[in-house]
């Protein structure tokens, strides 16, 4: 190799792109995450809007029919509260232990 070729090879070696460009990879990951977050947010907003519309349309009829159902469960209130408390305790005690 001549001196000029050696200098040119050294210059190309200095300006060569890295095998992995972490800045580029993180930028792409950030763009993907931002797009997924926007899609998830849009889905949530649409679901809430649809639920609000359904409840607005059907809500008064449900409330009128629920009044009789709620009064029939008034006597079972303490038993239902006890079942809910036992269920909550079972879920709390049955959880996976945290790693220290």
Look at 12 and 99; give whichever has higher pLDDT: 12
pTM: 0.44
Give the lowest-confidence range in 2-6, 21-25, 26-30: 2-6
d(CA 92, CA 33): 33
DSSP result, 27-91? HHHHHHHHHHHHHHHHHHHHHHHHHHHHHHHHHHHHHHHHHHHHHHTGGGHHHHHHHHHHHHHHH
- For residue 56, which of 66, 48, 46 has the smallest C-alpha distance? 48
**33, pLDDT greater than 90:** yes
Average pLDDT, the chain: 85
Confidence of residue 39 (pLDDT cuts 50, 70, 90): very high
Domain parsing of the chain, residue ranges: 16-93
pLDDT attached to residue 42: 95
Confidence of residue 49 (pLDDT cuts 50, 70, 90): very high
| Token pair belonging to 26 | 């993180």
**7, pLDDT greater than 90:** no
- For residue 30, which of 42, 20, 19, 38 has the smallest C-alpha distance? 38
pLDDT, average across residues 25-32: 94
């Amino acid at each position: 190799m001549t001196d000029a070729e050696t200098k040119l090879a050294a210059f190309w070696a200095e300006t060569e792109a890295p095998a992995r460009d972490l800045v580029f990879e993180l930028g792409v990951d950030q763009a993907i995450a931002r797009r997924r977050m926007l899609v998830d947010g849009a889905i949530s907003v649409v679901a809430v809007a649809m639920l609000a519309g359904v409840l607005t349309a059907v809500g008064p009829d449900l409330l009128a029919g629920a009044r009789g159902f709620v009064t029939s469960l008034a006597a079972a209130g303490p038993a239902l509260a006890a079942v809910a408390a036992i269920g909550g305790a079972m879920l709390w005690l049955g959880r996976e232990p945290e790693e220290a």
